[in-house]
Homo-oligomer: A and B are copies of this chain.
């Protein structure tokens, strides 16, 4: 909380429509968002790119199938003026907090009804938005379902499921340790460090342009097979995207199915999603389970609503109630507290099956992606908040101090 907050041009000034990003045929050079120079990740062009992710790299469809769309009944409430105080002590309103966090879309559900829905910039009801690490919570939910079904053994070492991992850091990690990110691996994920392992991982998966001199692995699988262990498994929580990618591999091998199809059949179609989603794929067709899902904010809210409802959508038990309860119950708080990065903003939280679980007092669980992607589920109040965003910083450290009080304020305003 004591680090000086960097300043960026604000949300209004960087509205991608106002700035005319990607307007014109072709757009002028200074309004062009290019994959080749990683412009799709660079603020403020990123504000256009996050709503057009599939235009930059290959994606697979996550089909909604041909079932009925889950109804979202509109019951609008005027929440714009709901007051809150940021973790830095600054008073603001909900509407101001949305702008302060560079939101692109937001849907608030209360007991299943849409009480608030807004879009900004390139955000639109039927336009998908990259969810980044919110993807992980979909993958973790699916993994917990497979464990529940007996398809994945939580105690099995990864190498027994994917022998190619035998010599890697994850070889002797159990499925459960992978699911809870308690893995000792020589891999760093500081997005502000150009030498961090996440970048080589991303290049391997085709999420960034290849370098001419790049002799590294050319697929997620090749990267994952080549990691080295550092420290022990089962100790502290350590947030690393590669763990979700390993989990995706374990799930695909255990089921013989592609991740995009598992997501479609087990989650996307059963929740009555309105639109197909998409997921980034590497040069071998492997989906980026660690952060490649794009979806509409409405469908993200539907996913949260199903979980709030103990895993049910309508008459259908989509996710076993025991799986939802296990996620909502959280992981080991000591293991989480041992991770220094989140001590200030997330005291009393834990991590379970790729979900962020709040203190018991708060009673929420959350999917979180860089640049502000969020799904906040608060069963006691019946509130679900889905938000997509294009915050300038690839770190929730600058985002949480506004986002968390804002979500809590809305929850309190609706509760009762």
Give me the interface of A with B, judged by CB distance under 8 Å. Answer: 22, 25-27, 32-36, 52, 54-61, 63, 65-66, 125-128, 212, 219, 221, 249, 252-253, 258, 274-276, 278, 281, 283-286
CB-contact partner of A58 in B57, B249, B276, B284, under 8 A: B57
Q: State the CA gap A128–B61 with chains docked (Å).
A: 9
**Chain B residues near A126 (CB, 8 Å)?**
63, 65-66
A-B contact pairs, 5 of them (CB 8 A): A34-B283, A35-B283, A56-B58, A63-B127, A65-B126
* Most B Cβ at <10 Å: residue of A33, A52, A128: A52
A275 CB contacts on chain B under 8 angstroms: 276
A34 — nearest CB in chain B belongs to which residue? B283
A25 to B261, CA, bound (A): 13
B residues in contact with A276, CB < 8 Å: 275-276
Shortest Cβ distance from A164 into B: residue: B26
Query: Which residue in chain B gives the minimum CB-CB distance to A128?
Result: B61
Given A34-B284, A275-B276, 15 more pairs with CB closer than 8 A: A25-B221, A25-B249, A25-B258, A25-B286, A26-B286, A27-B285, A32-B284, A54-B54, A54-B61, A55-B58, A56-B58, A57-B58, A63-B126, A66-B125, A212-B212
Q: Which residues of B contact A61 (CB under 8 A)?
A: 54, 127-128
State the CA gap A363–B58 with chains docked (Å): 41
Q: Do A60 and B52 have beta carbons less than 8 Å apart?
A: yes
- In the bound complex, residues from chain B placing their C-beta under 8 Å from that of A33 are 285
Closest-by-CB residue of B relative to A218 is B36
Q: Which residues of B contact A253 (CB under 8 A)?
A: 25
Q: Is the CB of B22 within 8 A of A285?
A: yes
CB distance from A164 to the nearest CB of B (A): 9
